[in-house]
Amino acid sequence: METYIEASVILLLLTDIALFGTSRLYTCITIAAVQGVLLGLIALFANAETFIPRIIVIASIGIVIKAFVFPYLLKRTIRQAGVQREIQPFIGYLSSLVVSLVLFGVSIWFSAKLPLALGAGRSMIIPAAIMTMFTGLFLIVARRKALTQCIGYIVCENGMYLFGMVAVGEIPALVELGILLDAVAAVTVMGVAMYHINREFDHIDTDRLSSLKG
């Protein structure tokens, strides 16, 4: 099982780095969806020996929501808003990749410092989780389109989910479902808000919304 977990974690790290360097919004959404699937798989693999039905159910719900519901909602928003790609991000794609490497180093340093007791074969999970959170925050900070920020939010949530799964282990089912529900509600609201912003201003560039300041 450890091999599968490690493979999934490495795939997850690759998706993170891919998010740093992707400008097409469709691709970003797809990568985030893949991340969701990977997370569900990691949860399943990690608990494969014990076989707790609760975890399987929650992991499957997570996969369904992150791999199908979110992409559906976001892609619909893209069609409505008519934007295809992130143009003129605050930080260019090549520099973003450099930043991603720095952040990866920082997350490994963090995880080495964090006093956590981890099982065998899971040493890469904590850096991956921190890296995923960083990726989400980076997308929120460095990109212009509201849609990318929404994706950043989802990715950040993915990182927290992974971190919680490893660090805390037995998260109550209610909390996990609550986080999922929270994310669903947030994505729905953001989708609706973006639709309206787009209809009102003909763009979803958040930096240009500063004209609304009082």
Partner 1 sequence: MNLILASIAVLFLSSLVSLAVQGKPRIAGILGACGSVLALGLGIVPAVQALMGSQFAPLAFASSMPWLSFSMGLDPISAIFLVPIYILSGLVAVYGTGYMKPYAEQKNTAFYWFFYNILVASMVLVCVARNGLFFLLCWEVMALSSFFLVAFENDKVEVRKASWIYLIASQLGTVFLIPMFILFGNQSGSFEFSSFYNCLTPAAATGCFILGCIGFGTKAGIIPFHVWLPEAHPAAPSPVSALMSGVMIKTGIYGLVRMITFLGMPPLWWGMVLIAIGALSGILGVLFALAQHDIKRLLAYHSVENIGIIVLGIGVGLIGISTGHQTIAVLGFAGGLLHVINHALFKGLLFLGAGSVIHQTHTREIDHMGGLIKKMPITALTFLIGAVAISGLPPLNGFVSEFLVYMGSFSGITSLEAETAMPLAGVIASLALIGGLATACFTKVFGIVFLGEARTIQLDHVQESPASMTVPMIILAFSCVVIGLSGPLVVRLLIPEVLAIVPISGPFVFDPSEWLVNISIVASGLVVLIILGAGFRKFLLSRRTVGQTVTWDCGYAAPFSRMQYTASSFAQPLTDLFSAFLKTKKHIKVPADYFPAQASIETHTADPSNERVYRPVFAQAVGLLSRMRALQQGRIQIYVLYIVVTLIALLLWKLR
Query: Is residue 47 involved in binding partner 1 (CB under 8 A)?
Result: no
Asked if residue 79 binds partner 1 (CB under 8 A), the reply is no
Binder of partner 1 out of 137, 160, 177, 186 (CB under 8 A): 137
Q: Which of residues 3-22 bind partner 1 (CB under 8 A)?
A: none
Smallest gap from Cβ 111 to partner 1, in A, equals 10
Query: Would you say 106 or 177 has its CB closer to partner 1?
Result: 106
Does residue number 143 form part of the binding site for partner 1 (CB under 8 A)?
Answer: yes
Which of 88, 113, 117, 170 touches partner 1 (CB under 8 A)? 113
Near partner 1 by CB under 8 A, which window of 59-67, 74-82, 110-118, 175-183? 110-118
DSSP codes, the chain: -HHHHHHHHHHHHHHHHHHHT--BHHHHHHHHHHHHHHHHHHHHHHTTTT--HHHHHHHHHHHHIIIIIHHHHHHHHHHHHT--B--S-SS-HHHHHHHHHHHHHHHHHHHHHS-----TT-TTHHHHHHHHHHHHHHHHHH--BHHHHHHHHHHHHHHHHHHHHHHT----HHHHHHHHHHHHHHHHHHHHHHHHHHHHHS--BGGGGGGG--
Binder of partner 1 out of 135, 149, 158, 198 (CB under 8 A): 149
Q: Does 140 bind partner 1 (CB under 8 A)?
A: yes
List 2, 182, 202, 207, residue binding partner 1 (CB under 8 A): 207
Binding site for partner 1 (CB under 8 A): 90, 106, 110, 113-114, 137, 140-144, 149, 206-207, 210, 213
